[in-house]
Structure 1
């Protein structure tokens, strides 16, 4: 690995630690989204991961934010050089004024997996109706957005009741988080987002305030933050040890939450119960003394 700071997401995912993290995240996402059913599933950002690969919903969309380095490592069609190499649909959008492609769907775009489409738009204003999405996956999306609270509120708005929210992020309470904090002070960050990583405890409080219920959480990637692939391979024994002895100190976490909607219960008039009279006890008859001698 080069000695220069790694700040570009696409370059970092091609490095040894990036491939290590992507492999763990892909395996966990395949396991989580496979048993979630519905009609519409959205992945926000990070085209390097196919978060919806094992999901079977008919409407699966990869949405990219042009202002985010994690979502769009290249550039939008209207600013990308060599537009003649794009598909016909993308070339048509390249001639569209920027204000008219705020939310653009391009079938067969270079980022989209086979059989799906790519949508470009602002994550702060998701182009979906209220309660119209069954599954929303955000791989490292909160770390690259300027307003993570706004994005979480948008997620709560578009998800249907009992809809699932899956979040993947770097854990600040780990060796990777410590190295990232030191790297920010020395202007040599280890992971791409040049900002404070979101701790799992803080994220859990955020989603609870929005009415989500934490379904499951998992930590992984317990190897130290090393750039050399040989040393990363030698530290493979730390995976099993970390899962058993220090699970909350994994470099990456995956959180699944369910949107809960409190339903109103109609309460009828409180009718006053009638008091049932208690039957009186019959008096004991006077003793018969006529035959007494």
Structure 2
């Protein structure tokens, strides 16, 4: 496998390690997003992975980074997702979805207008991951969910990636250093998110052939039990909290209850009756 096939997403996802990682991530996403409800859901980047496949929200969109595009914010109507800013080949947008080309660091959506955002390895390809997370927090509604997938720097794959950066032969596609799971947790907590769950997977060594990856299939169960935090890939699910907000139901007015043994005082009769 050439260097280009390693660092280029479309080619890498067709390689044995790429298919191995995406298969695990797709299975995790299918289970998680099926239980997230609302009206608007967005996937930021990586069209090779259909993160919203099992989600049942009526308006689901794919947002892709572009050098140019409309940056004017627009609202998400109670209807189909807005049409694409630029035309896109059909293979990039699953049937029934809309695609938006824009600057991911300046999302063209109103504040608090999206119920679910999924970022599959998006942070590893942006020049400013902090700003991208702030944008996600801005457009998410209170109690909205954020799902992040990334490569784990504290893994065999992360070690090979670090060595590959030095030798000029990176193993996984990423424009910048991999983001450690612990660092990501700190970032999302600073933005007011509550971490709901974290999941690691892909415990086989960083190998480049299906044959060798298959030989180490036994490491999946062993890694999940004995060294779970050293999986090659992770998925983080967080919920946006708005401090001071309290959801209440309809106000019920209760009638005063008298203590046992007490009766209401008799109304005094102001008229004197004489015989």
TM category, shorter: 0.7 to 0.9
In structure 1, C-alpha distance between the alignment counterparts of 2:182 and 2:167, rounded to whole Å: 26
Other-structure match for 1:202: 183
1:6-35 deviations in whole A, cap 9, x for unaligned? 211111111000000000000000001000
What is the Cα deviation at residue 109 of structure 1? 3.6
What RMSD in Å do the two structures reach over aligned CA positions? 1.9
1:19-54 deviations in whole A, cap 9, x for unaligned? 000000000000010000000000000000000000
Residue 51 of structure 1 pairs with residue 51 of structure 2: yes
TM-score normalized by structure 1?
Answer: 0.77
Other-structure match for 2:155: 174
Q: Is the 8 A contact 1:167 1:256 kept in 2?
A: yes
Other-structure match for 1:63: 63
Q: Is the 8 A contact 1:172 1:178 kept in 2?
A: yes
Structure 1: runs of 5+ lacking an equivalent: 68-97, 266-293
Other-structure match for 1:281: none
In structure 1, C-alpha distance between the alignment counterparts of 2:5 and 2:163, rounded to whole Å: 13
In structure 2, C-alpha distance between the alignment counterparts of 1:189 and 1:252, rounded to whole Å: 16
In structure 2, C-alpha distance between the alignment counterparts of 1:223 and 1:110, rounded to whole Å: 30
Residue 18 of structure 1 pairs with residue 15 of structure 2: no
Q: 1:210 to 1:16 in 2, by over 3 A?
A: same
Residue 129 of structure 1 pairs with residue 106 of structure 2: no
The equivalences for 1:87-106 within 5 A come to: 104=85, 106=87
Q: Is the 8 A contact 1:41 1:136 kept in 2?
A: yes
Equivalent in 218, 222, 225 of residue 203 of structure 2: 222
Secondary structure, counterpart of 1:216 in structure 2: strand
Residue 160 of structure 1 pairs with residue 137 of structure 2: no
What is the Cα deviation at residue 108 of structure 1? 7.7
TM-score normalized by structure 2?
Answer: 0.81
Q: Is the 8 A contact 1:5 1:189 kept in 2?
A: no
Other-structure match for 1:213: 194
Other-structure match for 1:80: none
Secondary structure, counterpart of 2:91 in structure 1: coil
Q: Is the 8 A contact 2:112 2:141 kept in 1?
A: yes
Larger Rg: 1
What is the Cα deviation at residue 156 of structure 1? 0.6
The equivalences for 1:183-202 within 5 A come to: 183-202=164-183
In structure 1, C-alpha distance between the alignment counterparts of 2:26 and 2:33, rounded to whole Å: 11
What is the Cα deviation at residue 228 of structure 1? 1.5
Structure 2: runs of 5+ lacking an equivalent: 73-83, 247-275
Q: State the number of aligned residues.
A: 235
